[in-house]
Chain A
Amino acid sequence: MTGVPTLAEASRRIAARELSPVDLVRDCLARIATHDGRLNTFVHVRAEQALTEARTAEREIMAGRLLGPLHGIPVGLKDIIETAGLRTTGQSRLRQNHIPVVSAAVHRKLSAAGAILIGKQTTHEFALGGPSFDLPWPPARNPWNPTRFTGGSSSGSGAAIAAGFCLGAVGTDTSGSIRLPSALCGTTGLKPTRGRVSVAGIFPLSPTQDHAGPMAWTAEDCALLLNVIAGHDAADPVSLDLAVPDFSATLGGDLKGLRIGVARRWHETDMPVDAETAGGIAAAIAVLRDLGADVEEAAVPSLDGFQSAGMTIALYEAFGVYGADLIARTGDFGKLFRDRVLLGGLIDVADYEGALRLRLECNAALEALFARHDIVLTATVRTPAPPLTEVAPYYFMATPNTMPPANLSGLPALSLCCGFGAGGLPLALQLIGRRLDEATVLRIADAYERATPWRGRRPF
């Protein structure tokens, strides 16, 4: 596939009047028409509306009324994000005719910035039950190899970005659901600091761990999206009432003086990665050293505590959200969501309270690392994308994984592509930053992406 610009490239060319938003949207729709029949990345495509909005954007821009870097940019939204007047299903029979009256804050912000919503993107049922074949919509497939898992639950968003169906998206992340599809689809995804981006108007899953954040082809693209979707929202009780920095302003330099701590224990012992992933991470560390970063090993705590606290809290809270519907309308849910969330109904409140205490311990140990390191680097996932049909119902219980620490602590964490395996599937690593320091996370990811060839490779 050629000719898919990054979000940042498209933005610059639109501002310079070298690229028409109409042509850009038309190209995305043409790719969707050609390829999405086998990838299933959208629950709903707004083809006509998107083209109409693109024509309006073009007129405004040509009249000198450019709203900002997202004006005329085609984006997607995970289909648990409410969109006024546009069906928001949660990939579930329970909401298959649900038309919200009010949009989520992230949708309102994107619209106000002139972004063009190209469609609502495939997810796992209510962001947990997937990949499922018993829902009204099929699961997304990986554009690098459609027999492979996209990861989830922001599965359609990760796959659509890789396939060039849109230039950015907003996903959500309760236990890794932005970072996992970003990793398996070879894209870049940032789970920001908890409270940085409002989750008001987004279907909840585990209300103390839910986050929303940007997904795109590059870290520079994610910075542009975060600039728009971040900020205080009184409708979200955990939203932070803080000024939003310009996350693009610190990109583009070297990494001299930055201290990167490698959480070797996590990806070598607690969640041992395969040889290809280990090789990708080792090569990436060498690149970061060449860019000027000081790299040393980080003395991280065991992942077991994070896994225990994260899973216990997530399942208990998910049952709190969906338990009544699960019992009253059991047959309307997909089997994976039903079986996973009913487990939450079997967790004693004493165990939940124990998990809350364990979370405090784990978070304190994690935050202490940032006295010595600016960033903690580890794997995002154990392996490249597995076959879609071989994802076990309880795969997330088999071994601890490296993503829940950032959900429990609320620290920012980003997944980016660090090469490709022998089968042509993307490899990934994860960067975890200090609270509210998305800027450093994005700066390192951007420097790495500029220094390596991986952003020049698309699935088709």
Chain B
Amino acid sequence: MSSPSDEKLHENAVAALRRLGVRLPDEELREIAEGRRLLERWLLLARARA
């Protein structure tokens, strides 16, 4: 993670996981958020068809 947009993706992902009711320590939520950042590349292609 390096760019401001990546950091924003991370923050949003952690917040969304909390909203879902996921009860995990922050560090583990951030690891999932990193997965969400990697997923973004693929979601963009799908989003273009939405």
Interface residues of A (CB under 8 A from B): 304-305, 307-309, 311-312, 315, 323, 326-327, 330, 339-340, 342-343, 345-347, 350-355, 357-358, 361, 393-394, 397-398
Contacts and interface: CB of A to CB of B under 8 A. Distances in A.
Contacts of A343: 32, 35-36, 39
Which 9 pairs of residues, A with B, have the shortest CB-CB distance?
A: A354-B50, A308-B45, A355-B46, A354-B46, A354-B49, A357-B49, A308-B42, A350-B50, A397-B38
Contact of B20 (A304, A327, A361): A327
Contact of B35 (A308, A323, A350, A394): A394
Nearest to A353: B50
A397 B35 CA distance: 9
Contacts of A330: 22-24
Interface string B4-47: 00000000010011001111100010011011101101111111
Range class of the B interface residue count: 20 to 34
Contacts of A305: 45
B1 interface: no
Contacts of B34: 394
Contacts of A307: 42
Contacts of B23: 330
Given A342-B17, A343-B35, A350 B22 contact: no
A350 B42 CA distance: 14
B39 A358 contact: no
Contacts of B39: 311, 315, 343, 346-347, 394, 397
A394 B38 contact: yes
Contacts of A394: 34-35, 38-39
Given A304-B45, A327-B21, A358-B45, A340 B35 contact: yes
Contacts of B32: 339, 342-343
Given A330-B23, A330-B24, A350-B50, A312 B17 contact: no
A311 B31 CA distance: 19
8 contacts: A307-B42, A308-B46, A311-B42, A347-B43, A350-B47, A355-B46, A361-B49, A397-B41
Nearest to B13: A346
Contacts of B28: 339
Nearest to A397: B38
A354 B32 CA distance: 23
Nearest to A307: B42
B43 A308 contact: yes
> Quick one: which of A308, A323, A361, A397 has the most chain B CB within 10 A?
A308
Contacts of B48: 354
A339 B45 contact: no
Contacts of A308: 42-46
A326 B17 CA distance: 11
Question: A309, A312, A339, A361 — which one has the most chain B CB atoms within 10 A of its CB?
Answer: A339
Nearest to A354: B50
A170 B46 CA distance: 32
A327 B22 contact: yes
Contacts of A340: 35
Given A343-B32, A343-B35, 4 more contacts: A323-B20, A353-B50, A354-B48, A361-B49
Contacts of A358: 45-46, 49
Nearest to A352: B46
A351 B49 CA distance: 8
Contacts of A304: 45
Contact of A339 (B35, B43, B46): B35
Contact of B16 (A346, A352, A353): A346
Nearest to A335: B28
A448 to B, nearest CB: 33
Contacts of A339: 28, 31-32, 35
Contacts of B13: 346
A352 to B, nearest CB: 8
B22 A312 contact: no
A354 B36 CA distance: 17
A315 B35 CA distance: 12
Contacts of A361: 49
B42 A312 contact: yes
Given A311-B42, A340-B35, A346-B36, A354 B47 contact: yes
Contacts of B50: 350-351, 353-354, 357
Given A327-B21, A330-B22, A351 B43 contact: yes
A308 B42 CA distance: 5
A309 B38 CA distance: 15
Given A327-B22, A343-B32, A309 B46 contact: yes
A315 to B, nearest CB: 7
A259 B22 CA distance: 52
